Amino acid sequence: MWTSFEQDKTKRDFANSIRVRAKLYGARFEKGRNMDRYLEVLKDYRRQLENMNTAISDNEMTGEFSKSMACVSSTFKQEWMLDTGTIVHVCTDLSAFRYGVQQDNEYFDDWQGSRSTSDGFGLVRVKTLNDLDPNGKNVLLDLHESRYSSCGHTNLVSQERLEQDGWVPSIPPSRRPEERITYFSNERYPGVQLVFKKRRGHYWLDATPVVSTNSICAASPSPNQDKLLVWHMRLGHLNVQAIKKMVELDMVTCMDTLTLADFKKPFRCIACQRAKQKRMAYKRQQEKRRKECYARLMSDVCHVGILTPGGNIYFQLIQDEASRLKWIFLLKDKAEAPQNVIDLILKLEKEHAIKIFSCDQGKEFVNKKLTSFLTSHGIELLTTNAYTPEENCLV
């Protein structure tokens, strides 16, 4: 009976953890794959292993990610468009940042003249052709404080930023406009000349990202030394006192490796703790509801799920707490949400007094543009706490 139980139950968690680890180590980023989705896959595998009490450390995850990026970064090239309208470099590939990105959530004007959201900034090092090298060797170009835009259309090289760093542009005469080339040279780097070739009406730099290899290592999982935790998982997360009783009475012959001394050590099972946790009920306080119309406005942004015929992918809902009147706006980007709030408040302020604006802590609302506007108009910004959407009342 025990042999049947062991074959059916005790080895299941161990086999599942090995299977998930194999998927994690085999996950590789490929050219054309969405980086955000790839990171979500890695997080999902790590979450599964944590629930099985075989958690992956941060260093091991960094090593696996770096090995994947190192295998890919040298195999594909990127196109960088020369932009005269922005003062910052913009990169749409998270893996191109040499040391990761630092969060800032600022706004910048892209090459189309529209305002885009920055998801962070960092150093991007690319390898590109040196036109003055007779052997055709490449040169490394550091793009400092490059902005990361996950929803951007193309990578941008700011001409203004290049000129601030000492790069001087020059365009030799050409008979055909489509054959023109823009060269950049720098006195600090003699013998180096960057090449931007004209394609599709713009000048483009062909470059290959160079990622950091400092964290690349051969990481191997260390065996779990907690014997009690191993038997706890083998027995389907059985109560520790029941396992101790089995050892005291010598009920199972194959548990010789587990002794009573192992029960004196602190025991912690993350899966059991999470299973026993219970979220407290959220009680609405009716007396805090506003009774005067337009005194409190609430807003939230949601994903539509499909691309609309007009090219919109989000919708924004603004609702009055007292009258339940709603305004809905279709958005192509979340960065459009603050302007909708500002336009609506300016319209309602002519006849009503707006005292509170409520929203979640999304960066489309908590930013300099909207907070400065609300402060100047004497409107209180009331945000919800994390993971409590009930605080945003009706929306």
CATH (domain of 360): 3.30.420.10
Structure-block tokens of residue 130: 């040196």
Last residue of a domain, one of 275, 295, 311: 275
Q: Is residue 271 part of a domain?
A: yes
User: What is the pLDDT, as a whole number, of residue 299?
Assistant: 94
Residue 327 has pLDDT above 90, yes or no: yes
292 located within any domain: yes
82 and 204 part of one domain = yes
What's the pLDDT at 395? Answer: 58
In a domain, 216, yes or no: no
pLDDT-derived band at 355, boundaries 50, 70, 90 = very high
Average pLDDT over residues 252-276: 84
Q: Are residues 87 and 205 in the same domain?
A: yes
The residue that leads in pLDDT, 262 or 21, is 262
Total of domains in the chain: 3
Are residue 303 and residue 231 in the same domain, yes or no?
Answer: no
- Higher local confidence (pLDDT), 178 or 125: 125
Same-domain check for residues 299 and 270: no
Same domain, residue pair 97 and 203: yes
Share of the chain above pLDDT 70, in %: 81
User: Can you give the pLDDT at residue 330?
Assistant: 95
Does any domain span residue 332?
yes
Using CA atoms, how far apart are residues 351 and 46, in angstroms rounded to an integer?
Answer: 54
How large is the average pLDDT for residues 29-38?
Answer: 68
Domain assignment of residue 68, yes or no: no
Residue 377 DSSP class = T
Based on the fold, state whether residues 298 and 271 are members of the same structural domain. no
For the cut 80, the answer to whether the pLDDT of residue 225 exceeds it is: no
- Whether pTM > 0.85 for this model: the answer is no
* Distance in angstroms (rounded) separating the CA atoms of residues 240 and 252: 15
pLDDT at 108: 62
Q: Are residues 290 and 271 in the same domain?
A: no
Task: Find the domain containing 49 and state its range.
Answer: 2-56+223-275
Give the residue with greater pLDDT, 393 vs 206: 206
Together in a domain, 185 and 307: no
337 CA to centre of own chain: 20
290 lies in the same domain as 388 = yes
* CATH number of residue 86's parent domain: 2.40.70
Region 104-117: what's the mean pLDDT? Answer: 61
> Does 27 reside within a domain?
yes
pLDDT of residue 9: 44
Write down the mean pLDDT value for the chain. Answer: 80
Residues 190 and 132 occupy one common structural domain: yes
Q: 330 and 227, same structural domain? A: no
Q: Which of 275, 295, 318 is the last residue of a domain?
A: 275
Q: Where are the beta strands (DSSP E) in the chain?
A: 78-83, 90-91, 107-109, 115-117, 121-129, 138-148, 155-158, 167-170, 181-186, 193-199, 202-209, 296-303, 314-320, 326-331, 356-359, 380-383
Q: Is the pLDDT of residue 47 over 90?
A: no
Q: Are residues 316 and 362 in the same domain?
A: yes
| pLDDT tens figures, 129-155 | 888 877 777 888 889 888 888 777 788
* pLDDT tier for residue 115 given thresholds of 50, 70 and 90: low
Q: Are 207 and 80 in contact (CB under 8 A)?
A: yes
Tens digits of per-residue pLDDT, 54-105? Answer: 777 777 777 777 666 655 544 456 788 888 877 888 888 887 887 777 876 6
Residue 304 lies in a domain: yes
144 within a domain of the structure (yes/no): yes
